Amino acid sequence: MSPQLKRSLLSLATEPYRLTGGFNYRWALGKLRYDPMFVALLDQGVIPDGAQVLDLGCGRGLLAAWFLAAEQLAARGQWSGVVAPPQGLYFRGVEQLAREAECGHRALQAVYGNRLEISTGDLREANLRNADVIVMLDVLHYLSYAEQDRLLDRVRAALGAGGLFVTRVGNAGATLRFKLGHFSDRLAAFIQGQRRQQVWCRPAAAWIAALKSRGFAVKAQPMSRGTPFANVMLIAQVG
C-alpha cells in the first residue's frame, strides 16, 4: 500500500471517531497508523468478498472501520492498491468492555448502518454461527489455557469448508521481544483505565500446533514490522 493511499484510508477510517471524543479519535488514529496488521490484511487479500466477519474482542471496531473505509474508497474510484479491497463485507463485533463497544457502535453505525453490529458481551460465550471469517487480534492470551482450547474448538465447529480463522498472537518463544510486547499491552490497558490482567501465552509453534490439531491449514508470518515486538499473524483455513 502506497503512503498516499494509506493516508487517504487512514483519514476516512478514523473520521467517524471524532464524534466520540478526542481520546477515541487519537486512539484510532494511532492504532491504524502504526499497527502493521491492518495494512497486511488488505495487501494480502486475506478476507474474501461478501464475507460475514465476526471480530471477537473487537474493541472500538477498528477492523470494521478500516475495511469498510477501504471499500468506500474503491467505490469512489480512489483505490490505487495492487489488491482491491473486499466488497460486500458484513461485520459483527463482540467486545467485553461496554465503553469501547458503545464507542464503536456510535462512531460507525451512522456511517455504515446495517453493514455492521457491535455489541457488548463475553467472547467466550459469543454466538459464532453464520460467520465465514472469525478474527481475534491480540485477545487469546487473556483467556486461560482451558478457555483458549474450548474457544478454538467452538471456532472450528462453527466454520464451514473454506472458513477462515485469523488471529495475531505473541510468540512467547521470542523471549525479549515477547516481554516488550507484553509490557506494551499492559501499558495500553493502563492508559485506557483497565485493571491489570493475567495472561496465558504460548510459543508460536504451540499456537500453530493447536490449530493444526483441529484440522486447520495454517499460514504463519511475523507481524511486528516497525515495532520491537514478537507478534505473529496466523491465518487458519478449514479444508
The tens digit of pLDDT for each residue in 69-85 reads: 999 999 999 999 889 99
Q: How confident is the model at residue 125 (pLDDT cuts 50, 70, 90)?
A: very high
All structural domains of the chain, each given as residue ranges with its CATH number in brackets, are 3-238 (3.40.50.150)
pTM value is 0.90
pLDDT at residue 185, rounded to an integer: 56
pLDDT at residue 193, rounded to an integer: 53
Question: Residue 64: pLDDT above 60?
Answer: yes
Cell of 128: 459464532
The residue behind cell 504460548 is 202
**Mean pLDDT (whole number) for 100-107:** 96
- Distance in angstroms (rounded) separating the CA atoms of residues 90 and 106: 17
pLDDT at residue 157, rounded to an integer: 97
Residues 76 and 9 sit within 8 Å (Cβ to Cβ) = no
Per-chain mean pLDDT for the chain: 90
**Mean pLDDT (whole number) for 121-146:** 96
Question: Residue 196: pLDDT above 70?
Answer: no
From 119, 148, 120, select the one nearest 136 (Cα to Cα): 148
Q: How confident is the model at residue 188 (pLDDT cuts 50, 70, 90)?
A: low
